[in-house]
Structures are given as structure tokens and as C-alpha cells.
Amino acid sequence: MRKPIIAGNWKMFKTRDEALGFIYNVNMNVPSSEYVDSVVCAQAPILRDLVKRQGDNLKVGAQNMHYLDTGAYTGEVSAPLLENIGVSYVVLGHSERRAYYNETDNEVNKKIHQAFRYGITPILCVGESLELRESGKTNDFIKGQVVVALKGLGSEQIKELVIAYEPIWAIGTGKTATAEMANDTIKEIRNVVRELFDNESAEAMRIQYGGSVKPANVDELLSMSDIDGALVGGASLDPESFLILVNAAVKK
Ligand code: 13P
């Protein structure tokens, strides 16, 4: 049985004070990590403050990371630093980073290897544009992203990896993929992983859905066989709404 995982991706929202207020509000009320993994992914400068205050049932993640240990890369954040300050997860290959910072599947692949080297769980984001969805190329496109991103990984790493299927046209638009549509694509992703690795790893690996997930649609999405959680932008910013999402996952 796969344990559900709900991760808030705060993107470039929340000052330190706002983030600490959030943690103060939710820490005591997050359900046990026995039933659901609850994560918030924040901007790099406040990660340490959040880690220090995270309770047993809430973990902290970064939103990006470089694939090298050190070097002259102004403005980047390294895995050794994230490990050093106790960050547990890192979102990699988010469609916003692919679109605005030209991140490629090859770079994402190197970042995934780097995250595993430092004991940080990667959340690999994949997803198609509306144009690809409408021209029936979704599965081929996502297969391409997955094949390159997972190159060189071992079965044990695949079991730890989290994939977030985020159709680009559903992010921040209020348009959600129907639960069936999301589940079908997620099943396809699992099949690709099964072909590349083995059945056991593919069945163990958790795949989230992301794109306008909110309290009103989370139950339906999580009721689907292959949707193991959610990566949530807007609806993860408010403590009350975040708690509804993580509690919904407990029922899965
Ligand atoms: P929204 O939940 O705001 O649509 O964002 C989804 C997302 O990009 C999470 O990574």
C-alpha cells in the first residue's frame, strides 16, 4: 500500500513571518505521518527556520536545487546545503522552471541523482501543455520526460521517488483535469516506470496529481486508484485549506 503524500508548493509566496505563522497554525493539527506525508516547499532563505519548527508530522522541502556540489553559480542552491539544514524533499523540474528558466530533462535527471546522493527525496514534476493534450500527444510527451529524468536510477531509488503529474493547463487556472483523466495519465506513467524498471518499484512509487487541487475537488481526485496524493500551489497557502487537503488524504 502506498502512503499518500500531500505537498504544498508555495512558489514565490510568503515572507518569513507569514511562513512561521502558517507552521504555528498547522503543526499541531497535521495528521500523523503514519497515515500521510505532509510537506511544505518554501523559498530557500526560510527553509532553515521552517525545519527548526517542523513538528514530527510535517516536513520541509525546497523548490529547486543545483546538480553540482559547489561552484561559481551565482544565485543557485546546493544539495549539500539543503542536507545540512535538514530539508527532506526537493521539487525538481516544475513546469514553471522548465518554462521560465529553460530547465531540460537532462538537467532534471542530474538533479534527481544529486538529491538521492544527499538523502533528499525528489518530487519530479512532469506534465503536458494544452496543445499536446488536444493533439493526443500527452502520453508520448510524458513518456519522453520520464525516460530521460529517470536515466541511471536504481530500483531502490524509484521506490523512494515521488512523481507529480501536473498538466500545465491546469496549474493556477482553476481548470482541473477530471479525476479519470488524471488517473489514466498517472497509470500510464506507472506503466512507463514498470517497463523501465520492474513491477515492484512501479507499484511502490508514489505519483501525485497537481493543478488546481483544492478542498472542493481533493476527495474525488484521491479516490482514484493511482493518485497517491497532490502537489498543491494556491490552496496550500492557507492553513485551514492545507489541513483539509492533508486530512482528506488520511481517508484514502
Ligand atoms: P495550483 O495548485 O495553484 O494550480 O498549482 C499547482 C502547482 O503548480 C503545484 O506545483
Q: What class is the 5-250 domain?
A: alpha beta
Give the three cell numbers for residue 198: 520492474
| DSSP code string of 60-101 | EEES---SSSS-S-TT---HHHHHHTT--EEEES-HHHHHHS
Please report the pLDDT score of residue 176 as a whole number. Answer: 76
pLDDT under 50: residue ranges of the chain:
none
The answer to whether 189 and 199 have CB atoms below 8 angstroms apart is no
Q: Measure 157 CA to ligand 1 centroid, in angstroms.
A: 25
**Per-residue model confidence as pLDDT tens digits over 83-132:** 999 999 999 999 999 999 999 999 999 999 999 999 999 999 999 999 99
User: CA 165, 242, 208: angle at the middle one, nearest 5?
Assistant: 15
The three cell numbers of residue 179 are 479525476
What's the CA-to-centroid distance between 170 and ligand 1, angstroms?
Answer: 8
Expressed in angstroms, the distance from the first to the final Cα of the chain is: 11
The answer to whether the CB of 133 falls within 8 A of the CB of 241 is no
For residue 206, the model assigns a pLDDT of 98
Is 166 among the residues known to form the active site? yes
Ligand 1 binding pocket includes 233 (Cβ within 6 Å): yes
Amino acid at 94: H
Q: Give Rg (Cα) of the chain.
A: 17
- The 10s digit of each residue's pLDDT in 69-93 is 999 999 999 999 999 999 999 999 9
pLDDT at residue number 226: 98
**CA dihedral (180, 182, 183, 188) positive or negative:** positive
Under the phi-then-psi rule, with left for phi > 0, alpha for psi from -120 to 50, and beta for the rest, what region is 188?
Answer: alpha
In the chain, where the domains are located: 5-250
| 167 within ligand 1 shell (Cβ under 6 A) | no
Own/partner long-range contacts of 53-60 (Cβ < 8 Å, ≥24 apart): 53/20, 53/23, 53/24, 53/27, 54/23, 54/27, 55/27, 55/28, 55/30, 57/30, 57/31, 57/32, 57/33, 58/23, 58/26, 58/27, 58/30, 59/33, 59/88, 59/89, 60/86, 60/87, 60/88, 60/89
Give the per-residue pLDDT at 177.
81
pLDDT at res. 45: 98
pLDDT score at 16: 98
The SS3 call for residue 123 is: strand
Note if 94 is an active site residue: yes
pLDDT at residue number 26: 96
Note the pLDDT of residue 187. 98
Ligand 1 within 6 A of CB of 154: no
